[in-house]
Amino acid sequence: MRRGWEFLKTTTVAGLFVLLPVVLIAKVLGEVVRFAHKAAGPIIKMLPKHIVADSRFPTLFAVLVVLLTCFVAGLLTRLALARAIGRWIERHLLQPIPGYRAIRSLASGLSGSLEESAFKAAVLTSPDGGSELVYLIEDHGNGLATVMIPSAPNPMGGAIKIVPRERIQILDVKISRVARVFSQLGVGARDLLPKGKLR
C-alpha cells in the first residue's frame, strides 16, 4: 500500500513538473500572439484586401510574425555579444532558481543536446548482479557518484541515489533514447546496452 502511494505521489509530482512548463509556455505564447496581432494591425491594413479577406488571416499573420521574431532571436544568440548576455542572464537570474540547473540539463539531454547536458545515460549494476538504466548526474571524484533512477513510464521522475562509481557504466547513447525506453515500459532496452557482459 505504501509503495503504491509513493508511486502515485512521485508520478503525480513528476507530471506536474512536466505540465507546468507547458502551461506556462502556452500562456506566454498566447499573450505574445495577441500582442503581435495588435502590433501587426497597421501592416495588415496595408496589404491587398483579397489577401486579408479570410477572417483567419490576422491570427496566421501574427503567428508568422512571432515565428520570424523567434528566428531572429535565434540568430542573435549566435553572436558573441548575445551569447555573453545570455550567459550572464542565466548565471545571475536563472541558476539561483531552485532546480533550474537540473531541469535544464535533463531537458537538454532529452532533446538530444549532449553538448549542453551534464547528465549521461548509464547502467547501474547492483551487488546482486542486476542492472538498471539510470542518468548519471554527478561524479563526485572520490569514488562515488549521484544517479537518478527514473520510474517507468515517466522518465522525468524517479529516485536519487549516491552509489559507488565503479558500479556505473556510461552508455554511448543519448538520454532521449533512454527516456523513450522508460516511456515504453522497457521495450528497446536491449538495443541500448553494449555488446557483451556488463561490468
**CATH number of the CATH domain containing 139:** 2.30.30
pLDDT in tens, the chain (199 residues): 566 666 666 666 666 666 666 667 777 767 776 776 676 666 666 666 666 566 676 677 777 777 777 777 777 666 766 667 767 776 766 666 655 565 665 655 555 544 444 678 899 998 887 888 888 988 898 999 999 888 888 777 788 899 999 999 988 888 778 888 888 888 888 888 876 555 5
| Residues 53 and 111 placed together within one structural domain of the fold | no
| Residues 136 and 156 placed together within one structural domain of the fold | yes
Maximum Cα–Cα distance across the chain: 74
Residue 83's pLDDT is: 67
Peptide bond before residue 98 is cis, with ω within 30 degrees of 0: no
Query: Distance from CA of residue 117 to its chain's centroid?
Result: 10
pTM more than 0.85: no
Q: Please return the burial class of 91, using the count of CB atoms within 10 Å of its CB with bins 0-12, 13-18 and 19+.
A: exposed
| Residues 10 and 74 placed together within one structural domain of the fold | yes
Residue 171 lies in a domain: yes
| Residues spanned by the domain of 184 | 107-191
Query: Distance from CA of residue 12 to its chain's centroid?
Result: 18
HSE toward the beta carbon, residue 130, CA cutoff 13 A: 4
Residue 198 lies in a domain: no
Cell of 67: 515565428
Residue 162's pLDDT is: 93
| Residues 88 and 113 placed together within one structural domain of the fold | no
- Of the residues 73, 96, 119, which one is the last residue of a structural domain? 96
| Residues 89 and 127 placed together within one structural domain of the fold | no
Tell me how many domains the chain contains: 2
Residue 115's pLDDT is: 45
Cell of 17: 513538473
| Residues 149 and 71 placed together within one structural domain of the fold | no
Q: Among candidates 188, 168, 190, 167, which has minimal Cα distance to 121?
A: 168
Residue 114's pLDDT is: 46
Residue 116's pLDDT is: 45
CA gap 13, 7 in Å, rounded: 10
| Residues 156 and 130 placed together within one structural domain of the fold | yes
Q: Among candidates 128, 141, 139, which has minimal Cα distance to 170?
A: 139
